[in-house]
Structure 1
Amino acid sequence: MGPEVTRGLWLGQRRILPVHRGPYTSPVDILAAGARKEIVYLEEYGQPVRASKHRPANRSYKQSPRDHINNLADYLQVAPYLVPSDASLTRHTIRHPDLQPSNIFVNEDLEITGLIDWQYSTIRPLFLQCGIPANFQSADGDIPSLLQEPRLPDGFDRLSEADQHCERELFRSRWLHYCYLTATAKLNPPHQAALTGALGVLRRRLCHQAAVPWDGDNVTLKADLIQLTINWDRLVRSEDANAAACPIAYSQDEVNECLQLNTAQVALDEQKRLSREVLGVGSEGWVAAERYDNVKACEEVLKIDELSVADASKESIL
């Protein structure tokens, strides 16, 4: 499996680090590689920084890389337990890392004729490769669900034109998400099994958060580790009834503080994502020219709603 060519393992001075980037002989090696890389980098080059993302939930003072190193060390202790015992979930898989319409070429018969932007592809176990492409994720998140077909809200006809546009965009994203999941269940059962495996989302999130270049965020990885300790019995029972106790632990004060910060961060991230989904714009604000006027109208509705909420909050404080 591997070797890894993802940018996170090569960004900045990381490119000169004497760390192993594959090929790997086991899933555990892949789970650990990103964390080991980041520990070596932070030990050599890490400096206290303020979190680079606009997250008011983070403390205003600079964050220490030592805290993240400690989180990564905790992650490495639990990494071996993240590998599923089901061999079908650890089989070697290659997948396009950025599957979106602009990277797919089709002919007039809608047959795929080519793919581009696949240079960061790597071979990894299925339980780490599985996922829902960004263009098929809905405003409700990427948690797989086949239970309810999306519908427009009751009273849709009575909404203003701008509100109807927003609801249509929300419905569109939910419908794409639903169709992708139903098609996956029918045409690609192994992928569906990996998507819905026990704690699959948490396993993938831990691996990802441990490997991303540190930007001052000492909360997200630790919050996921705390969730793992909370769900430890569920994890080990799904793999080995005689598995050992969780090798990491946190005090109740640590848990409360971290989860409170993480909840605030997640709420802000979700608000941003929902706004982009409703508007139908990318993370950098790009929108197709023919949709510009409609998006601007929807943006004005969101702006008015947010300002009214802010004014109400201000009045309640006063």
Structure 2
Amino acid sequence: MEAYGYQEQPPLDHIENLNRYLLIAPSLTLQDPALCRFCIRHPELQPSNIIVSRSSDSTWRVVGLLDWQHAPILPVFLLAGLPERFENFDDPISQSMARPSLPEDSDDLHGSEQSRAKEVHRRRLVHYHYIKNTEEYKEHHHTALLDPMGNLRRRLFCHASDPWEGETLALKDDLIGAMEIWETLTGGGAPCPVVFDAEDVHETMQLDEARRGANETLEACRNIIRFGTEGGGYDTQQAAEGGCVGVGQVGGGTR
């Protein structure tokens, strides 16, 4: 990583942060038994993993999900969240949960501008309907989604439990965040058992800013050349004529 001067990072730093996480983990659990109930959740809800069938009246019905091998079994408050392909939290319309609509002048737009407007609208719709349906059909999941501290709890857990790949900044950054809002995060009581000095916090924030900038640049390049994190993107042109097919094959589109 450029921010580290391309130097190898020792695992001891990550081990130290894991030990810090273990110190605060008991204080991160919730008191609501419903939100501590263990559930299973599909980790990769994407078109190619959803099997649908078209009935005689041409309506589609989900009949199966593939690739459960990495499905986690965790308390609801740690599983809550939107699938990566559905979330759109960076968009202010999605944040407000206002019902999305196309711009009034969308029919007058041409070429890439109209395509862009439709894609923005699609992302907003998916985000909106996922949360609205969660509210209607999965009350406890929706309650966990509304927890303002939920994202930090889940990030801490994920960064501590994911396999180490030579980088520990994300976990340390969230540990610092937990320290700074400890009373809000835990409801008060015992003081935070993890303490970082001001100089360490400043250095970590600088590294994190550099990391975020590098990630944004990489993501922008991927979007320009339509290249995914696991390989090149391509357009599928197969249309479903009946029977059971993968959603990713219905009507074509980029996968």
Aligned mates of 1:277, 1:194 — CA distance in 2: 32
Out of 282, 285, 288, the position equivalent to 2:235 is: 288
Q: Say if 1:219 and 1:258, in contact at 8 Å, map to a contact too.
A: yes
Bigger mean CA deviation after superposition, 108-117 or 84-93: 108-117
CA shift for structure 1 position 153: 5.8
C-alpha change, 1:102 and 1:152, in structure 2 (3 Å) is same
**Structure 1 position 229 matched with structure 2 position 175:** no
Offset from partner CA, 1:36-57 (integer Å, 9 cap, x none): xxxxxxxxxxxxxxxxxxx433
CA shift for structure 1 position 151: 4.5
Instruction: Give the structure-2-normalised TM-score.
Output: 0.79
Aligned mates of 2:95, 2:46 — CA distance in 1: 21
Bigger mean CA deviation after superposition, 98-107 or 131-140: 131-140
**Structure 1 position 261 matched with structure 2 position 211:** no
Aligned mates of 2:135, 2:124 — CA distance in 1: 17
CA shift for structure 1 position 70: 0.9
Q: Say if 2:28 and 2:186, in contact at 8 Å, map to a contact too.
A: no
Aligned mates of 2:206, 2:108 — CA distance in 1: 39
Q: Say if 1:151 and 1:171, in contact at 8 Å, map to a contact too.
A: yes
Out of 41, 53, 61, the position equivalent to 1:107 is: 53
**Structure 1 position 140 matched with structure 2 position 90:** yes
Instruction: Give the structure-1-normalised TM-score.
Output: 0.65
Offset from partner CA, 1:196-229 (integer Å, 9 cap, x none): 2141111111111112222221311100100001
- Say which structure is richer in helix: 1
CA shift for structure 1 position 272: 4.2
Count of residues in correspondence between the two structures:
233
Q: Say if 1:92 and 1:125, in contact at 8 Å, map to a contact too.
A: yes
Aligned residues: CA RMSD: 2.9
**Structure 1 position 59 matched with structure 2 position 9:** no
- Residue in 2 aligned with 1:212? 162
Structure 2 SS opposite 1:134: coil
C-alpha change, 1:268 and 1:138, in structure 2 (3 Å) is farther
- Residue in 2 aligned with 1:309? none
Structure 2 SS opposite 1:107: strand
Offset from partner CA, 1:114-157 (integer Å, 9 cap, x none): 2221122242111112221122122727xx83533335568766
Structure 1 SS opposite 2:39: strand
Quick one: higher RCO (CA 8 Å, sep 6+), 1 or 2?
2
Q: Percent of counterpart pairs with the same letter?
A: 37
Unaligned runs of 5+ in 2: 238-252
C-alpha change, 1:87 and 1:271, in structure 2 (3 Å) is farther
Within-5 A mapping of 1:172-251: 172-237=122-187, 241=188, 243-251=189-197
